[in-house]
Structure 1
Amino acid sequence: MRPDVLQLYRFYESPLGQVTAHLLGQQMRRFWPDVSGQHLVGIGYALPYLDTLMDVGADAYALMPAGQGVIHWPSTAGSRSALIENHHLPIADSTVDRVLLAHEIEHANRPAHLLREVWRILAPGGEVIVLVPNRRRIWSALESTPFGFGQPYSRGQLYRLMNDHMLPPDRWATALMLPPMGRLGLPRLVAWAEKPMRVLSRSMGGALLVRARKQVYGALPVGGLRRPVPAMAVPS
C-alpha cells in the first residue's frame, strides 16, 4: 500500500510536512549546490523538493506513477508533471542531468527495473538522489507520515541495490532526527533539534538520502539493459 497523491499533498501542506520539506531540502542542496540550467526529473512525489530546486535555476519536471496519481505542477505555471509507468520512463536515453527519487523506490514492485530506467535516462556523469525511509528509525514505523509506508531501507541495503545497477553511491545523509510530532508548535521543535542531534550521530534521522553518479564503464547493470524506442525527450 502506498499513499495516494492527495495524502502526500495534504501532508506536505501541514506544519509538520513543511518542516519535513525544509529539512530534507537543505540536505539535497548540500548534495547539489549548483543545479542552474540543468535538466532535472523528480520521480514519485518530489514536488516540495523540486520547488526548491527550480527556485535556484533547475529545469525540472515531475513524473508521478500511476499507482499514486498525478496533480498539476507547478501551481503558478504550465504543467510540468506527467503520469507514468515507472518501469518505462517516457524519456530518451542519456538526456537528464539529475534525477530525484522521492517516495518512490520503497513502493516499487521491481526496484531493480526502476534503477535501470534511471541509469538509462541519466547523461554520462549524471547524478541521482534517492530519498527513502530509514529502516532503523521510528519514522518508518508510524503511518502518520508518508515515511511509514512501503519498504524502508538501511544504508547498506540501499548501497548494495544501487551498486548492482551501476549507480555507485558517493555521499549519504539522514534528516528528521526527532520522531514525527504534529501537534501545534511541535514541528518547530523538530526543526530546532535537527542540527544538535546530527552532531551526536549523522545516522539518527528518519529519512535516508543517498547520492550516486552514473557509471558508464564496465559491465551492464544486473539483468541487462533494455533499450526502448524513446518516447519523449527532455527539452534542451
Structure 2
Amino acid sequence: MAEDAGALTRFYASPHGKVVTTTLRTRLRALWPVVPGTRTLGLGYALPYLRVWRTEPRDRTVACLPVQMGPARWPRHRPNLACVAEEDRLPFPDLHFDRVLMVHALEHAGQTRRMLREAWRVLKDDGRLIVVVPNRTGWWAYAERTPFGHGRPFSADQLARLLEATMFRALRRDGALYLPPFAWRPLLRTAGAWERLGRRLGPRLAGVVIVEASKDMYAAIPAAEAAPARRRVMTAVDSG
C-alpha cells in the first residue's frame, strides 16, 4: 500500500528528508541535465525532485500522484501542477512527455506492469524513463521510519527485467543513499562522504536503485509482420 502523501511531505520537510532530497537530486541531475523546453512527468511522489528540471516557465514539468497516495500541492506558492489519477489510467495523451521520473511509485503499485505500460504510452518514442526504487540489498529498504522502508524493494537486475517485460530497454544503472538511514544530525552532516565512499564500494550497498530506460520500439513490432511492412507501435494499455 502506498504511503500517504501527507506523511511523505512531512518526511521531506525534515532534516533527514532534506539530506535525502539533496543526495538524490545530485544523481538525477547527473543522469538528466537540464534541457530547456523539455516536458517532464513525475509519477508517484516525485515532487521534491522535479525542481531540478523546472528552471524556467517553458519547462513543462508536471506531477501525478496515485489515488491511493492522495493529493499534494506542487510547486509551493505557485499555480498547482500536480494531479491525482489511477496508476493505470494517466490523464495525458499518447507520446506527450520527453521524460518520465518515477519515485515512490513502482514499489507501491498494485499492478506494476500496467503502471509501466502507462508510462510507455505517454512517453515519446525517443523519450527517457528513470525509475527510483528501494534497493533490496541496501539498508533503507528495511528502515520503516523512512519512505523507502515501505512497499516492494527491487534489485537492479529485477528492475531491469521488469522494464524489459514492459517494452523498455535499460540504458544505465546507478545507486544513491549510501548513508545509513538514521535521522541523527551528526550523521546527516557526513552524507557527502558516505556517498563518495559508497560509490567506490559498489551499488549493492546503495539505499535506492536508479535505472534509466528508453522505449524498446522493436519489442512493439508484431513478430509475424513481414520485413518490408511498416512498423507498428503499441500505444494502448494491455489488459495483462
Normalised TM-score (structure 2):
0.89
Contact 2:138 2:204 (C-alpha < 8 Å) held by counterparts: no
Matched, 1:41 2:41: yes
Amino acid at match of 1:15: P
Deviation of residue 183 (structure 1)? 1.9
CA distance in 2, matches of 1:114, 1:225: 15
Query: RMSD of aligned C-alpha atoms?
Result: 1.8
Structure 1: segments with no counterpart, 5+ residues: 229-236
Partner of 1:94: 95
Contact 1:116 1:225 (C-alpha < 8 Å) held by counterparts: no
Amino acid at match of 1:10: R
Matched, 1:149 2:158: no
* 2:236 corresponds to which of 193, 215, 227: 227
The SS at the match of 1:11 is helix
Partner of 1:177: 178
CA distance in 2, matches of 1:217, 1:11: 41
Query: Which whole-Å deviations, capped at 9, do the CAs of 1:134-161 have from their partners, x for residues lacking one?
Result: 0111100110100000000001100000
Contact 1:166 1:220 (C-alpha < 8 Å) held by counterparts: no
State how 1:84-163 maps to structure 2 within 5 Å: 84-163=85-164
Deviation of residue 177 (structure 1)? 0.6
Amino acid at match of 1:64: L
Deviation of residue 58 (structure 1)? 3.5
The SS at the match of 1:43 is strand
Amino acid at match of 1:211: E
The SS at the match of 2:65 is strand
Spell out structure 1 runs of 4+ moving beyond 4 A. none
CA distance in 2, matches of 1:93, 1:2: 26
Amino acid at match of 1:136: T
Amino acid at match of 1:166: M
State how 1:204-215 maps to structure 2 within 5 Å: 204-215=205-216
Residues 87, 183 of structure 1: alpha-carbon distance in 2 compared, 3 angstrom cutoff: same
Deviation of residue 216 (structure 1)? 2.1
CA distance in 2, matches of 1:58, 1:157: 33
Contact 1:181 1:190 (C-alpha < 8 Å) held by counterparts: no
Query: Which whole-Å deviations, capped at 9, do the CAs of 1:27-69 have from their partners, x for residues lacking one?
Result: 1111111332100000100011001221377321010111001
Contact 2:137 2:204 (C-alpha < 8 Å) held by counterparts: no
The SS at the match of 1:203 is helix
Contact 1:133 1:139 (C-alpha < 8 Å) held by counterparts: yes
Deviation of residue 214 (structure 1)? 1.4
Structure 2: segments with no counterpart, 5+ residues: 223-232
Residues 200, 123 of structure 1: alpha-carbon distance in 2 compared, 3 angstrom cutoff: same
Deviation of residue 226 (structure 1)? 6.2
Query: Which whole-Å deviations, capped at 9, do the CAs of 1:118-137 have from their partners, x for residues lacking one?
Result: 11111111000000000111
Deviation of residue 225 (structure 1)? 5.2
Contact 1:102 1:131 (C-alpha < 8 Å) held by counterparts: yes
Moved more, 127-136 or 194-203: 194-203
Deviation of residue 220 (structure 1)? 5.8
Identity %: 38
Residues 124, 17 of structure 1: alpha-carbon distance in 2 compared, 3 angstrom cutoff: same
